Amino acid sequence: MSYEGPGPVNTVLTGLGNTSTSNYAAASITIAGNSGTATGSTITFDANSNAGSSVTFSGASSTVSLIVSDVNSNTIIGGSAGNGSISGSGNTGIGLANLFSLTSGAHNTALGYASLDSLTTGSSNVAIGRNTLFKLISSASYNTAVGDSIGSNYTGTESSNIAIGYNITGTTGESNVLRIGNGTGTGNGQLNTAYIQGIAGNTVANPTIVTQNSATGQMGTIPYAEGTFTPGISFGNGTTGIVYSVQSGKYTRIGNVVYFALTITTTSKGSSTGAARITGLPITVGAQTGQIIFFQSDGISPVAGFFNLLMNPTSASTNALLYSATNATGSAISGLSDTNFINATTIRAEGFYFA
């Protein structure tokens, strides 16, 4: 800037820590900026009208200091950035029109043109990029967005979302959602290949299987479990006096399919009577439509001399009824009961059913 007064013309006033002192009598002076000039006996340095709401000049004695942070620890720099009514603290904004509507919101970070432009009372949002989260209003909080033009559909109090990429619009009203990229493909901001390191070779407790909706890209999980179980036998739903020497079972559940293997050996079949069942399946059986699982046995007398032995899981239970074929093709079956068992009976089965 240049100074013109009742002394040497074009005396340069320097900043950046340097000062100059003049003993001239009060008179009209002119200071030229990068564009335009200011003339008068008193020249006012006005920062926050165009430099951001936290930016001010503070004069004391012969020194004018440039202040970029306000008394609430807000640092908001940029044309039309922030406003004079911000009561929240710890906000940081750099860029034209960012944090323009903010009032009591705190700990927000906005970097880029019009980022967090409409936010008023929300807190702890991070918006980096042009037009990023610029429609969020009111108390929307804890969002993190990195990229250009993110969150144009976030027009309310959507919170705790994470979005990374270009032109990720989001869905109005959603919260607690992660979005990376704006679609699958080769268009602007889309992804057609993804790599995440540090996964292969790691074994975790409580595993699950990750799936994806091929139409929307949404990720989710399906049930997964594995373990052991203790199978048993009942007759007419009774178990009186049954004695076992072996009760072992292992299973793996993937989605709604339960794969299992079991072995049961009795030394006494007890005194209960009625329909024979396997009990203690590891996962409750889902709706069934006559599913049949073949099994092998030592000690069961088949019906009509045919040795095709079958089990049928019972819906909404952890049991399976036992049957025997009554013809050579197995197209006709009859239920097994206690009368078909001897004391020393072994049953071995493996297969799957639907949960």
Phi, psi of 263 (to 5 degrees): -140, 130
Q: Angle at Cα 324 formed by Cα 250 and Cα 305, nearest 5°?
A: 130
Please identify, among 186, 212, 245, the residue that sits at the C-terminal boundary of a domain: 186
Residue (of 171, 126, 136, 130) closest to 148 by Cα position: 130
Together in a domain, 65 and 87: yes
**Total domain count, the chain:** 3
Evaluate whether residue 212 is within a structural domain.
no
- pLDDT, averaged across the chain: 89
The per-residue pLDDT for 304 is 61
Together in a domain, 34 and 105: no
Evaluate whether residue 220 is within a structural domain.
no
Together in a domain, 99 and 25: no
Identify the band that residue 4 occupies on the pLDDT scale cut at 50, 70 and 90: very low
The per-residue pLDDT for 305 is 62
Together in a domain, 233 and 121: no
| 92, pLDDT greater than 90 | yes
Evaluate whether residue 157 is within a structural domain.
yes
Identify the band that residue 185 occupies on the pLDDT scale cut at 50, 70 and 90: very high
Report which residue type is found at 122: G
Together in a domain, 68 and 132: yes
The per-residue pLDDT for 43 is 84
Please identify, among 163, 186, 209, the residue that sits at the C-terminal boundary of a domain: 186
| 307, pLDDT greater than 80 | no
Beta bridge partners, 351, equal 260
Range of the domain at 272: 227-354
Give the lowest-confidence range in 15-19, 115-119, 130-134, 338-342. Answer: 15-19
Evaluate whether residue 73 is within a structural domain.
yes
Together in a domain, 181 and 60: yes
| 20, pLDDT greater than 70 | no
Evaluate whether residue 203 is within a structural domain.
no
The per-residue pLDDT for 130 is 97
The per-residue pLDDT for 306 is 62
Give the lowest-confidence range in 10-24, 175-189, 239-253, 257-271. Answer: 10-24
Together in a domain, 231 and 346: yes
